[in-house]
Every structure is written in structure tokens, then in C-alpha cells.
């Protein structure tokens, strides 16, 4: 292969790799816009701040997130837990779902809490996640998801790992 053709092939390969690795800015989504992870869509359906859950007062505020999972796969189910999502504040600090508060909320306003969820092929499932926000949390606040790299993620450079849903 001549040097010019080799250079052209290398340049083409570089552009392809750049496209697959998603060298663009991290996707910023609004409430209601899904994060795509292979055949699975994760959506913040709603989010609201509250000062208390039952008799438990927040040190800052609680953020209650109605979180949905849509399984667009034809045959496989999708297993996930309440720790699939987390929050990131403007300073990069992570906040995790509080299982105890989540169960307390389910006792007051039942939504079907489970330690683990299985969303069948073609089905949808949702839960309510509860995050305790410190009084000094840095805004803006974004929700992100975690998960294993799946075949469909290879084609978009695992974009789901960088996608953020901006919360109110």
C-alpha cells in the first residue's frame, strides 16, 4: 500500500473511532428525555423537592425522583436496582439514593418498592428514588446512570455513561 493511501486509511479510521467514542460534549437532557443504554431507556418522569418524608425532616431537602425504565428488547429482561442512578452536583460530588427513605416513602405513598426490579422485554417499570440534598449542595444538579457496557453501547461510545438529566 502506498504512503498516501495508508495515510487516508489511518485518517478514516481515526474519524470512525472519534465518532464511536462520542468525542462530543456530554449529552444534557431535560426531565422526560430518556437516557439510552442499548435496548433500555432510563427516564426521569418527574422530580420534586420536599422538606420531610413522614416525620423525618431533611437536613437540607429531599429530592424525590420518579424514575422509569423502558425495555425495548425483543427477548431479554432487564434487571436493575435502586442504585442504578445517582446525582452529581456542580462541584462533582455524588449523591446516592437512600434506601431507608425510599422504603419510608413507599409506606406513606405506595409505589411498589423492591430491592431489585426485573423489567420484561417490551415492558416498562418505575420507582421513586429519594436523595437527601445537603443545604449547601452546589447547583445545577444532574442525574446520571451506571451500568455495564452492552453491545448497543459500543456504537455510540457508551454515551449513557456521560448523559445527564438536569433536575429542577
Q: Answer yes or no: is 80 within a domain.
A: yes
Q: Which residues of the chain fall below pLDDT 50?
A: 10-15, 17-18, 20-22
Domain count for the chain: 1
| CATH code where residue 63 lies | 2.60.40.1240
Q: Whose grid coordinates read 430491592? A: 115
pLDDT in the model for residue 22: 46
What residue numbers bound the domain in which 114 lies? Answer: 25-167
Q: Answer yes or no: is 119 within a domain.
A: yes
Q: Answer yes or no: is 4 within a domain.
A: no
Q: Answer yes or no: is 160 within a domain.
A: yes
pLDDT in the model for residue 72: 96
Q: Answer yes or no: is 141 within a domain.
A: yes
Phi and psi at residue 15, in whole multiples of 5°? -65, -40
Q: Answer yes or no: is 1 within a domain.
A: no
Q: Answer yes or no: is 9 within a domain.
A: no
C-alpha cell at 126: 418505575
pLDDT in the model for residue 6: 62
pLDDT in the model for residue 154: 64
Q: Answer yes or no: is 18 within a domain.
A: no
DSSP one-letter code for 98: -
Partners of 29 in the beta sheet?
Answer: 165
To the nearest whole percent, how much of the chain has pLDDT over 90?
Answer: 73
pLDDT in the model for residue 153: 67
Rounded to two decimals, the pTM is 0.82
pLDDT in the model for residue 18: 45
Q: How many residues does the chain have?
A: 168
8 Å CB contact between 88 and 28: no
Amino acid at each position: 500500500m502506498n504512503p498516501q493511501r495508508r495515510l487516508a486509511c489511518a485518517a478514516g479510521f481515526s474519524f470512525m473511532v472519534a465518532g464511536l467514542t462520542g468525542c462530543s460534549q456530554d449529552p444534557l437532557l431535560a426531565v422526560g428525555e430518556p437516557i439510552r443504554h442499548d435496548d433500555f431507556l432510563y427516564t426521569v418522569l418527574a422530580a420534586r423537592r420536599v422538606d420531610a418524608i413522614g416525620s423525618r425532616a431533611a437536613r437540607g431537602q429531599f429530592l424525590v425522583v420518579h424514575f422509569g425504565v423502558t425495555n425495548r428488547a425483543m427477548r431479554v429482561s432487564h434487571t436493575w436496582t435502586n442504585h442504578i442512578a445517582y446525582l452529581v452536583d456542580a462541584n462533582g460530588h455524588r449523591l446516592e439514593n437512600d434506601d431507608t427513605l425510599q422504603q419510608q416513602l413507599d409506606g406513606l405513598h405506595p409505589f411498589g418498592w423492591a430491592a431489585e426490579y426485573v423489567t420484561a422485554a417490551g415492558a416498562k417499570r418505575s420507582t421513586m428514588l429519594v436523595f437527601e440534598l445537603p443545604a449547601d449542595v452546589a447547583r445545577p444538579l444532574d442525574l446520571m446512570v451506571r451500568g455495564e457496557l452492552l453491545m448497543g453501547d459500543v456504537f455510540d461510545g457508551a454515551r449513557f455513561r456521560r448523559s445527564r438529566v438536569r433536575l429542577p
